[in-house]
Structure 1
Amino acid sequence: MSKTKRTPAGEALTGFILELFRANGLLLTAGDRLVASLGLTSARWQILGAIVDAGRPEPVAWLARNLGANRQNVQRIVNDLERDGLVVFEVNPHHRRAQLVVLTDKGRQIFDAAGRLQTPWVNGLADGLSVKEIEAAHRVIGALRDRLEESGER
């Protein structure tokens, strides 16, 4: 029985993906530690960021899509954020059941405070890396994400 072998690019990408998995786990742990004093987790912080990045109120399903995340998981976290007064739900004039998620003043203050904590941390992580290297890694990850989205791997 013959076994299909990875191409050299497939082998390199496999190693890259494994490093991404490891880095993701470490980033989530570091993020949890960084914002714990604000009552946040990495997941909650990420969703606040998606709300801010959206630029306008969006339903949970759209936030989940933008994050490449499971809608039910995002809904659970948004419900927690609402319970803690960081977001509110507003009526969606385009869809009766899909309420819009809106950041509250408290939510904005917490998100801004997280950003103030993140700045020295990320600057330290970036120390010794060139902007060119970071931009190249960003392009590779972006291309990988695009291919996964095109193939329906979301």
Structure 2
Amino acid sequence: MSGRQELLSGMALTVFKLNGRFLDVADALATPVGLTAAHWQVLGAVLEAPLSVAGIAREMGITRQSVQRIADLLAAKGMAEYRPNPAHRRAKLVAPTPQGLDAVRRIDPAHAAYADRLCDALGDDRAGEVLAALRDLSAALDAIEAEDARDG
């Protein structure tokens, strides 16, 4: 295996491990308010503005089907609702309800405490560098995917 293959494998395996760790942290933060990490993820995507299921999937990097399943569960629990979409008659917008907003707000103190612990462990400057590197990695993968789509 070449050095570049080892770098790709190392990045991928590290991100997979981080994904699992972050999901565990998110579940631990969300469970006390009756949510799962997936519920929190979908609600978090629509806090600023309602989005279609496909829009949430694009934003979060997950499948449309999994977002649809979670949005339906959230709607059944009264934490999200479907609204008409002026841009597309059939693709409804997902929006949080007051109950969903309240649940996310109740996560905030534990979320803030965990953020403080992580930033204390890394240092604020290093935490910012890690975030920038992860965003750069994501942008590079997006660019390669777009190039592959263009080249057919």
Give TM-score scaled by structure 1 length: 0.86
Segments ≥4 residues shifted beyond 6 Å = none
Q: Name the counterpart of 2:49.
A: 56
Does residue 28 (structure 1) correspond to residue 23 (structure 2)? The answer is yes
Does residue 134 (structure 1) correspond to residue 103 (structure 2)? The answer is no
Question: Over the residues paired in the alignment, what is the CA RMSD in angstroms?
Answer: 1.7
Distance apart, 1:95 and its partner CA: 1.0
CA distance in 1, matches of 2:63, 2:115: 27
Unaligned runs of 5+ in 1: none
Q: Name the counterpart of 2:92.
A: 99
Does residue 111 (structure 1) correspond to residue 117 (structure 2)? The answer is no
- Aligned-partner SS, 1:95: coil
Question: Is residue 35–residue 117 contact of structure 1 (8 Å, CA) maintained in 2?
Answer: no
- Aligned-partner SS, 1:40: coil
Q: Name the counterpart of 1:83.
A: 76
- Going by fraction, where is helix more abundant, 1 or 2? 2
- Aligned-partner SS, 1:132: helix
Distance apart, 1:86 and its partner CA: 0.6
- Name the amino acid aligned to 1:71: R
Distance apart, 1:76 and its partner CA: 0.4
Identity of aligned residues (%): 33
Q: Name the counterpart of 1:14.
A: 9
Distance apart, 1:104 and its partner CA: 0.7
Q: Name the counterpart of 2:149.
A: none
Does residue 45 (structure 1) correspond to residue 40 (structure 2)? The answer is yes
- Name the amino acid aligned to 2:128: E
Unaligned runs of 5+ in 2: 147-152
CA distance in 1, matches of 2:41, 2:137: 20
Query: 1:37-67 deviations in whole A, cap 9, x for unaligned?
Result: 2111111111111111xx2221111111111
Give TM-score scaled by structure 2 length: 0.87
